[in-house]
Every structure is written in structure tokens, then in C-alpha cells.
Structure 1
Amino acid sequence: MTAPAHLLKLNGKACRAASGQTLLDAALDANIHVPHDCKSGLCEACRVSVMNGNVDAAGTELKATVLACQTKPQSDCDIEWDGQAEPVEWRGRVCHFEPLSEDLIEFDVRFQGSPAWMTGQYFKAQWKSGFEVQVFPCFSMARPPEFNTITFHLWPETLFDGLHRPRNPLKDGKAIKLFGPFGTSFLRFEDERLILIANEQGISAIWALAMAATRGQPLRPKIVLVDQALAERNELQPAFSLLDKRNVKIAVFDSDAADLPLHFQELIPDLTEYDAVHAAGTFPVLQATKTLAKQTGCTLRPIPLLDPIRTV
């Protein structure tokens, strides 16, 4: 006997999920757009809230949220998510290129129009060479924002072989294609204390979130936790100084700590369910913050770092 299909309401739009079908697959079959990217549970871009009903979340639950690509309904369900722009293709040209250090590059891309995105989301940058790379819109370390222009940071040794060769794919005037935005871990207007955690290349997203919050939510309490290796980088000191001047508390953690969740809890001993945490970084750091969230009840919005891929 065939198991009955379950009725789903996805941001108010009705569809049915066949037995064993994930929330995302059911939505795609019904031509309902649910934010998503990789469909494998790595990118966190399809995190949605379960308002009513029972689901098998396959271990992806954080508070009342689950990953739609992994979660299967076990009953009729009401699913919701915050509205955001659907991913589209944007074409632009590099209009500023500046090495900030031997292994960190800042570059601007100018577009014909204004791409829609929210701070904390990411795009996929694509070049004719066949590379597709996750990039986070952020803020320049030294220059004000420009109209129809987005600033990005890249660590080239993790992205391209020989990026500094004469035929540089990021040189001024070079065409670039972006697809996005993706991600549900964007900055929201909330009253909860904002805690931002970064290691390695996750600093780009966290720097953007911190700056946007200081400008748009100046009265909101904010703490930034950065890995020790980041805290020691000379080119990032202006960013940390600026955040300090804007009353953002900065603390340093050791990503190699034996018990990373405990290490985080020692740095933020008063963490509660009323705090909102954004974490961007490597898998061990994100796993530690997920453990921390389950222990304390805080709201966690993970921002994974995705490996570059070759598309051709």
C-alpha cells in the first residue's frame, strides 16, 4: 500500500510531498522557489522554519529550522522562510584590484544595474577559465562604497593556481560573471545580541556583517570572535580598529582548542537563547558552534566556506 502524500504549505503556497520526498524536491516539483544551492546539505542555503507538523530532519535541525534538501515530512507541514531575492546571473567588470597582502586580494566589480543581496549572503563568481568560486560581498578596508559596485576579498592560494601571473583573471576591466545571491544566514533586524565568529576566509562574511550592523543597528550589542591567526594579520588591523571604535567587542579564540564548544562558552559565558550567532569558517568551527547552539539554545546562522569547483 502506497504511503499517503503529505500536504505542505511553503510560505503559504500549497503542494504535496510524495512518500520519502524531501521538502526541497517537493517544492521544485511544484515550481515553488525555496532558497537553495548545493542540494547536498553543505551550503546551508536552504534552511527553513518548521511552523507546524512533523519532519525527519536527518540531523539538520537547529531550533525550529531544518535544511529543506535533507528533510522529509512525516505529516502535513507548514514551512516558512524569510523572503529574499531569487538567484540570477549578473555580469560586471573588475574596476579595482588591490593586493592587501601576499595572500589577500581586494577587488571591486562594477555592474550595469544593482544586484540584490543581503549582508551575509554569497555569490558564485565564474570566469571563462572554468573556475566557480564562492565570494561574499563586503566592504573595502580603506575606501567608501561606490554606486553599482560590490567589493570582494579573495585568498588566491585557495582559489587559483598562479593568480599573480601576467594574465590575471582579476585585472582591471576583466569581465566577470556572478550568480546569486545564496544563503539564509544574512543580517536581520533583531533585538538579540549579535555574536559573529570567523576563522580563515570566513572573515570576509563576518567583516561585512559587523560593518553593516554597526551602520544599520548601532544600538545592538555586538561581539566578534576571530581566530588567533586572523587577529595577528597586519592587513586586518584597520578593520579591527574600526570595529573597536564603533563599540564592537573583539575576542580571540584558538580554532585548535581541544574542546572548541567549551572554548567558545568560556569566551561567551552568558550566551543564552536570546542571542543570535553567525559563524563563518571551516567545518570544525561550524560543528562547534552547532554544538554550542544546542547546549545554550542560541539562534545559530552558519555560513560554510565552499570549495572552488571547475565547471568546464
Structure 2
Amino acid sequence: MYVGKVDGVEFEIKPSQTILEAAISSGISLPYGCRSGSCGSCKATIIEGEVFHEDIMPGVLTDQDKSEQNFLLCKTYATSDVTISSLVEKKPDEFPKKITPVRVEKLNLLNHDVMQILLKLPAGENLQFKAGQYLEFILKDGARRAFSMANAPSDDLIELHVRLIEGGTFTNYVFNEMKEKSIHRIEAPIGNFYLRESDRPMIFVAGGTGFAPIKSIINDFHRAGEERKIYLYRGFKTHKDLYQDEVVENWKKNINNFEAINIYSEEVVNGQEKSLVHKKVIKDLGQLDSFDVYCCGAPGMIEVAYKEFVEAGLNPNSFFSDAFTFAPK
């Protein structure tokens, strides 16, 4: 057993716990988001002590972070007593997390394995969040399941896109047992995947249901009357995996400087060659030094996209990602 210290408060850390898990279990409030090493919300400096750090998503910690002993607490284990200092300060425009009940207003099957859940908040309640953030379902046993919000902050209903995972307890519940009008608990908003201020053109890369937070961002951006060039690349395995293409077609008609294309990795569709979505981006746009990239999908896709985009000239600080990790079955 080790002792952790933050802001003068001590807490116990078991060798099997990450520092973040130990702090939370001791009732200490620290910033966090994904808890999987991809969002950067729990970044902290190890002032004293020794730690072991698991692998994380590329680009979350810079070389400067590493040289300054900055770590992600969700992936860091103490190997001695440690003193830490949280680096993530709440900004004036950030919204506090809250736990609230929600009612399932509507369930819509969007394709063979993606369910749209529309959630309604209690009367008089609203949820303030930045487009691109996510929520967590709080299950009866205390476990949590995270899903990005696909609605814009100004929408009345919360929209989620849930893909059926083979053997996944919660996703099977959504597809086979969840009922309209049922009541659930959520906590939100969470996460650091949101639009940054910039005048650079934007590339959005979505793998499957990684489209959800990107839909939220683009709708919010458009309603705010912003003007920046947008390229949207959506990656699917086959055409049957495509969903909400009508949303994208509507954007093409109504958003200036907007281009979008669907990419299929395992099927030729309308004569379009098979490709991984990130490779199509590089083939079409070439040098990426003048762009901001927002990438959302499976961790493997994000990792290889980051590597090859940087090789194509992208500034590592202009790559923003949200990795969808699947909970234990």
C-alpha cells in the first residue's frame, strides 16, 4: 500500500489501482474523462515519487509533458508514495458534471447494428455541454457505459448512437430489452473532444459510430454561423454499415465550404476503390500542415491515423481525438 498526496490531502493507493481509481475511491475529486488514456482530462505532474505508466493514445502527452513528468492518472500506477499536482483547471466556459434521470423517448434502428436512443430530461431540466462531449449511463450495479452525444447542445433531446457489440451486455440490453419510456440515470458532460478556436480548415474523420460526436460538433458549428472549410470522411467496412447519410446530404446542401465522402474498407461501392479512411484523407488532401484534424472511432484507427497524418505534415498539436473503447463484457 502506498500513500498519495494531492493539494495536501492524503489517500491510500493499492498496487492494483491506478492513481485516479485510488483518488476517486477515497472521495477525492480530480478531473477525468474517458479513463482509458485518450482524452487527457486527468493529466497531472508527479512532483515526488516513482510511478509506472501504461501505454496511452498517441498525441495525448507531448514530448514536453514527458520531460516535465506529466502523466495521465488513469494509466499511472504508484510504485512508491507519490505527490501529484493536477494540471487540468476548470475554465470559465466549462460546464460541471451532474447526475440526472432521463427517459427513453424513442428507439430507432439506424442500420443492422446501430440503434439511435433519444433521451428526454425531466421537465425544467437542461444539460449544458460542449458539442462533442459524452455521457455515461450509470447501471444498477454501479458500472458505467460511455456514449458520445450526437445532438447539438441546443437540441431538446439527447441523441446517442449505440452499436451492437457481440457479447456486450449493455448493447444487447439496448437492442433487445430497453423500452421506450423507461427511466435511466446518466452523468454528463464528460470529455475534451470539442471544437478548438482556429481559422484553419477542418478534417473530421469518423469510424462507424464515431460519427456521433462529429455530428454534434458540425450541427453546433453551422447553427452558430461559423465559416470554415470542412472535410468529413466517414469510414465503414461495407455499405450496410452506413447510417444517417441523409444528415450528411442535407449538410452538403446547406453548409458552405462543406465536403463529405464515405469510405469502405471491405467493399467496392459505386466503383469507389476500397480504402482505410485515413489513407483516403492523405490521398485526397496530401500535405496536412494547414489543417486541424478531429478523429473519432476505435483506438487502433486513431493511433494509425495520428501516425500517418503527422508523417503527412500535420502538426501533432492540431490532432484531436476521441477513442471508443468497449467495456468488459
Same fold (TM over 0.5): yes
Aligned to 2:220: 212
CA distance in 1 between counterparts of 2:98 and 2:163 reads 25
Q: 1:201-233, CA deviations, whole angstroms, 9 ceiling, x for partnerless residues?
A: 212122222222222253011111111447665
The alpha-carbon distance between structure 1 residues 89 and 218, as it changes in their structure 2 partners (threshold 3 A), is same
Q: Map of 1:250-261 to 2, 5 A cutoff?
A: 250-255=260-265
Q: Which of the numbers 186, 191, 202 marks the counterpart of 1:194?
A: 202
Q: CA deviation at 1:182?
A: 2.0
Instruction: State the one-letter code of the partner of 2:227.
Output: L
Task: Select the structure with the greater relative contact order (CA < 8 A; seq sep ≥ 6).
Answer: 1
Aligned residues: 285
Aligned pair in 2 of structure 1 residues 234, 305: CA closer, same or farther (>3 Å)? closer
> Partner amino acid for 1:35?
Y
Contact 2:136 2:147 survives alignment (8 Å) = yes
Q: Cα deviations across residues 38-93 of structure 1 (Å, max 9, x unaligned)?
A: 2x52x42526599xxxx998765624667522479xxx989455633343322111
Structure 1: which 5+ residue stretches go unaligned? Answer: 9-13
CA RMSD of aligned residues (A): 4.3
Aligned pair partner of 1:266 in 283, 288, 294: 283
Distance of 1:225 and 1:163 partners within structure 2? 28
* Distance change (3 Å), C-alpha of 1:56 and 1:269: farther
- Residue 309 of structure 2 is aligned to residue 305 of structure 1: no
Q: Which runs of 5+ in 2 are unaligned?
A: 11-17, 46-50, 78-83, 267-273
Between 123-132 and 90-99, report the one with greater CA deviation: 123-132
Q: Once the 2 structures are TM-superposed, how far is the Cα of residue 197 of structure 1 from its aligned partner?
A: 0.6
Cα shift readout 1:89-121 (whole Å, capped 9, x = no counterpart): 221111222223332222221112212321111
* Residue identity in the other structure for 1:204: A
Which residue in 1 is equivalent to 2:30?
Answer: 33
CA distance in 1, matches of 2:89, 2:144: 27
Instruction: Tell me what 1:284 maps to.
Output: 300
Percent of residue pairs identical: 14
Pair 1:126–1:243, CA change in 2 (3 A): same
1:114-150 per-position Cα deviation (integer Å, ceiling 9, x unaligned)? 123211111112344877422111139xxx9653x31
Indicate conservation of the 8 Å contact 2:296/2:322, yes or no.
yes
Alignment CA distance shift 1:249-1:275 (3 Å):
same
1:275 corresponds to 2:291? yes
Q: Residues of 2 paired with 1:294 and 1:68: CA distance?
A: 22
Letter in 1 for 2:282: Q
**Paired amino acid for 1:266:** K
8 Å Cα contact 2:139-2:185 kept in structure 1: yes
Q: SS at 2:244's partner residue?
A: helix
Q: Secondary structure at the match of 1:135?
A: strand
The answer as to whether partners of 1:230 and 1:236 remain within 8 angstroms in 2 is no
Preserved CA contact (<8 Å) 1:197 1:280: yes
State the TM-score, normalizing by the size of structure 2: 0.68
The answer on 1:95 being equivalent to 2:105 is yes
Partners of 1:270 and 1:92 in 2: how far apart?
A: 45
Distance 1:176 1:230, change over 3 A: farther
Which amino acid is 1:68 matched to? L
Alignment CA distance shift 1:99-1:219 (3 Å):
same
Letter in 2 for 1:287: E
